[in-house]
Each structure stands twice: as structure tokens, then as C-alpha cells.
Structure 1
Amino acid sequence: MASEKPTLVFIPGAWHTAEYYEGVIAQLKGYGYEVHALRLPSVGGDETTTVADDAAHIQKTTSALAAEGKEIILVMHSYGGIPGTESAKGLLQKDRAAEGQKGGIVGLVYLTAFLLPEGLSMWQFLGGMPDWVVYNGKRMGLARTPEIMYNDLPAEEAESWSSKTLYHAAPSFETPLTYPAYKYVPVTYLQCEKDQAIPFAGQQAMAKIPGDHVKTPVCSSSHSPMLSMPETVVKVIREAAGETVA
């Protein structure tokens, strides 16, 4: 990587917006990073949104940054790992360099995120949805949200964050990953031991999919380490960006 720090692009998961990352983002900006946090169309938006739609939305930001010559790291949480991975097609730095262009994606950070095999949707990978995903037509909501998403936060805080979640478009869980970007760039996968949404064993299995070039730090967080362990998340991201952090 170049001496200039890479630009970070945050891709939230299902039901969540960029608001959940404000604490982490503030710290990273303090360390000199340019940060962009997106809201996916599938979150509280068009209920027909697919992975491809979310990926195209992400590319509007990343392609503009790459055109400016910026090196980019995608930071993805939960469902965000699927459209985030998909969106990297055509934007990897090494592919752009081969065409004489500067800038592009140089790394992927998965925060207890879905890292799927090529050709599978989340629905296929999981064999259906868990009982805490509630359907209302093509809109998906959450049941037992504090328990599933924020089980290591104080009860009042967990309830507050739960109240901010939005519906999510069901088709996005049913469309497959077509581009395994994780095969071609450095990958960091933060595994969270107390996660009730993606069990720890599932995270471990997904972190093995890319091969030997994956870093796999572990923390004791719930499914939302950006809220309960923001300093850990910041450390993981800074190290993925090439810093040595004590």
C-alpha cells in the first residue's frame, strides 16, 4: 500500500444504517482516515432491492473514489459482506493498475459478516431464515432484537438501538454472490464469540473460505462490535490498513 492511508468505506448490514458506526468512524477520523459510511437501498427502502442493486449503490461511491486515485478498504458488517464483496468487481486496485489506472480496492474487512461461496445466496447458505427474522410481504423485520443483535450491551442501550432498526428487503437475501473478491485481495475477518445472529462456528467456517491470506482476529463481542467494542473494531481496521497498533 502507498504511504497515504487508504480510504475506508463502511457497508452496514441488514436493518442497520450508518448511524451505528458513528463512534468507530469518529475514532478513525481522529487517526487521519477518510471515511465514507453508506446506507444500503435494501434497508428501509425499495422492498424489491437485490444484492446487485445494493452492490451498484456501493459502486457509485467506490468508483468515484477510485477515479480520484484513492486506495480503498471496504469494511462490511453482517449482510453487508455480500453486496460489499460483489461491488468490488472491476474496482480492485491490481485490476485497475493492469489497465494503467490508479486507485481501487486494496482490502476487505469483514466484521462478523457473511462471506459466502460464489454462487450462493444467504438463503441458500443458511438453508432458510432463523425464527427471529419476521416477514411482512417482501419486508423483513426482527424479533428478539436486543437478544440477537446487542446481547452484550446494557438493556436500556440495547432497546434504544433496537428501536432504530428498519425493515429490510427480502430479495436481497435471495440473490447469489457472483464475484468472490475475497480471493484476490487481503482479507481480515473479525470473529465475535458472543454473536447470536451468526454463531461463532459459522464465522470460523466462512473465514476459511478465501484461503490462507485471511487474518482472523477474535473478540468477545455480540453481533454488534461497533457498539460494544468500538476500540477493538478500530484496532482491527487500522491493522488491516497496514498500521502497527500496540
Structure 2
Amino acid sequence: MFSANVVEGLAYYQRSKAGSPGGVIMVMWMAAFVTPKGQSMLDMLGGNWLPWVLPKQETLFYHDMTSEAQQAAIAKLKGQPTQTFLEKVGYECWHDMPSMYLFCDKDQALPLAFREVFAKVLGNPAFLSVPDQVMEALELALKEGRAQSGIHVD
């Protein structure tokens, strides 16, 4: 689970300005929650729990993969702690670093209407079953992140 709080102060330009190496050049959300400061993920859902938060709802995930690949992926899933849905966000990293939202067209866990709202929070409406497309999006994110962070690579 990604929390925007964990990247506070880690933007490339912030670290570079402080004389520190490295840093985050872009944050990418893939069919995920984007939660504004002072709100929780449950707040973003209008206070309603989605079906996959409850036990035994694995069929929502990896539905477009072969049965064998689906079972292998499901076997690796870990429970999502309830607290992650209740914790209020204290930092909006998209103000300090380039950010991108990747829509997953066939996502059955998070309704499209929610994903569209999350992308709008970032200001840009810009997985496993289509790795080439995810790779293209990651390469674009890397290129855009470098350009927006002022990183020039020969």
C-alpha cells in the first residue's frame, strides 16, 4: 500500500537543492486511491466499504488472466489492514513532484467513477495482464518525471 506521506521531502528537486543524491522523480498511481490531505480512503469512498475489502472477494482481482496465473497471483495477496482505509492523509505529494494516474480499463475492484475522481485530484487524467502497456506507461512516467525534475540524461 502506497502512502503519499512516505515520500514527503523526497522529491528529486528537494534532495538536489539540499545537496543530497537521488529522489523521487515521479509518482504513479495504477488504478489506486489518490487521497487529499485531511481525508481517508474510506472518506473518498463516501464512507462505504467496497466488496473487495471484505474477505473472500478475490475474483475481482486478476479476472482477465489465465486460471493458473490468477491463482498464483491471488496466493501472493496479503490482507489490507483496515487502518489504511481510516488513516487521514497528512501530505499531498503531487504538489511537490510530477504525478501520473494510470487507468486500468478492466479494473473491477475500483469503479471507473472513483478512478476518474482520483485522477482529477492529481490534475491530470492521464496490470499484470498487460505488462507491455504498463511498461510503456512507466517509461513515459520516467521520461516526463526526468524532464519535469530537470534531469538530463545523455
TM-score normalised to the size of structure 2? 0.82
Alignment size in residue pairs: 143
Match of residue 185, structure 1, among 65, 75, 97: 97
Structure 2 unmatched runs, 5+:
145-154
Structure 1 unmatched runs, 5+:
1-12, 14-79, 135-141, 217-224
- 1:170 paired residue number: 82
Structure 1 runs of 4+ with >4 Å offset: none
Q: Is the 8 A contact 1:194 1:200 kept in 2?
A: no
Q: Name the amino acid aligned to 2:20.
A: Q
- 1:201 paired residue number: 113
What whole-Å deviation, never above 9, does each CA across 1:152-192 have from its counterpart, x for those lacking one? 11233323322332223221221111110012221121101
Q: Percent identity?
A: 29
Structure 1: distance between partners of 2:52 and 2:99:
30
- 1:89 paired residue number: 8
RMSD: 1.9
Q: Is the 8 A contact 2:116 2:125 kept in 1?
A: no
Matched ranges for 1:1-246 at <5 A: 13=1, 80=2, 83=3, 85-126=4-45, 127-134=47-54, 142-146=55-59, 148-211=60-123, 214=124, 216=126, 225=127, 227-242=128-143
What whole-Å deviation, never above 9, does each CA across 1:31-55 have from its counterpart, x for those lacking one? xxxxxxxxxxxxxxxxxxxxxxxxx
Q: Name the amino acid aligned to 1:196.
A: Q
Higher strand proportion (structure 1 or 2): 1
Higher RCO, 1 or 2 (CA under 8 Å, sep at least 6)?
Answer: 2
TM-score normalised to the size of structure 1? 0.53
Q: Name the amino acid aligned to 2:56.
A: A
Higher helix proportion (structure 1 or 2): 2
Structure 2: distance between partners of 1:170 and 1:177:
15
